[in-house]
A and B are shown apart, each in its own frame.
Chain A
Amino acid sequence: MFALEINGLQKVYKNRMHALKGVDLQVRNGDFFALLGPNGAGKSTIIGIVSSLVRKTGGKVKVFNHDMDISLNEAKSCLGVVPQEVNFSQWESCLEIVLNQAGYYGIPRKLAGERAEKYFTQLGLWEKRNDKSRTLSGGMKRRLMIARALMHEPRLLILDEPTAGVDVELRRSMWIFLQQINQTGTTIVLTTHYLEEAENLCKNIAIIDKGKIIEDTTMKALLSKLGTQSYVLDLAQSCTTIPAPNQFNLRQTDPLTLEADITRDQNINELFLYLSTAGINIASMRNKSNRLEELFIRLLNDKNPPGN
């Protein structure tokens, strides 16, 4: 069964902006799904429509098989949303905000109180529970929105750039938290601009640009699409010249570091053979971690060739 099924979704805003041009998307139950795309691609518009805050112009949306046009309330009950922008009352305390949200889903106060304690503790907000939401830092506000979205324990959790403006340490702890939530069976869809985030967390990925899905595949397949892998080599001794023939596109970034590209028809053994013949000793080696960035830009360029 699909947690989220979107067919032919269209959105034209009042100002004639054609934000979605027939989006199809399927997210399997239990998946951890990334929706990637540049600014203005239409990610938040999709999320807005799924959370029934934006009216669609055409197409179908089903949440756990509940068609939003037919059984809206059933669909809503399965869904938790963390919006891109802060949207709570400035005058309410953190606890009031999450208890009210639970109340709107019909969850009794007592159960809501237990869940609030659980999620506030896990997200490091328990100390702040009685503070007014406007006094929280940006990172705390994001976590408060996550706690709020979990109060009714939705089967599908959608997060619109949950880690935007969040520091590295907190981002990592949010990743771990989301992975735990996913492991308990909650399907997660997130949008992000940090490709590293998608690569670390997500099993499946779709890329959207200008209101159209341009790629919809598994993370693995996407990464393997990348013909070349780049590696960073830390040298044991500095080397000054790179011997010919340089079939691995070796380049020196500083005296103790080399970078190499390996295409699909080459392999790492060949690289090492070449290096040891040249008398270059490698102390350590790592993957250059911007693979997805490169791929992303390449995909966007393929679809929109320069000068078009």
Chain B
Amino acid sequence: MADASPLLECRNVSKAFGAVQALWNVDFEVRPGEVMALVGDNGAGKSTLIKGIAGIYPFDAGQVFVDGEEVHIHGPRDAARLGIEVVYQDLALADNLDIVANMFLGRERTRGAVMLDEPNMERAARETLDSLSVTTVKSVRQTVAGLSGGQRQSVAVAKAVMWNSRIVILDEPTAALGVVQTRQVLNLVRRLAEHDLGVAIISHNLHDVFEVADRITVLRLGQRVALFEREKTTQQEVVHAITAGTLDAVPGMETPDAEAAPTEVEA
């Protein structure tokens, strides 16, 4: 598995918001059947990276490859067409709509030209939730507003895998969850990888990361400072990279440190 060619690859992507250089020459890759963790401190650029991949906003520079071919993602629809689905930190569910409507949002099935095919969508939503062993959701016709955090997360994940997606990206899927629900979501994440999807997961919880990930990419102040294989590293090593990984000089910016360069690993 480790030698499989990457499903998704970002090369030297950069993104600035005004004066803030949120990403600087970042490389990132996800292989089929692996869980790639993306870690880093608050503001390191994790969400920015995945939003760029998802087409929420364009990268300023750099290339993105899917299956080895360069792609240009201009919007969520482009990403979806390439099989990339994102579960956002803020979930992006419409609270006023029910579970079915949310799972099919923007891709509703219709009978004839305009009329929604509710029975069809309802069945498919139910089947997807069942196939992921999401048993905590009783009715797929309840509005999302009334769901617990874990249920919402499950709906968001189910929404992502509902389509012929090959790459699923999760932004802090367990941040707001209790112990049991965290376990459920992590199991769900592993299950996705077992089905040969490429999974990228952002998390601040290194314990979770070490439990679920195959490899770990560390971002710091918008740069990739390390790439680890889980089996060959330790939590201390990762923590050190997060807090003190070596930075390249960014034009127009002071480089904050010149500490020992400990953790560069194969790219």
Asked if chains A and B come from one complex, the reply is no
Interface residues of B (CB under 8 A from A): none
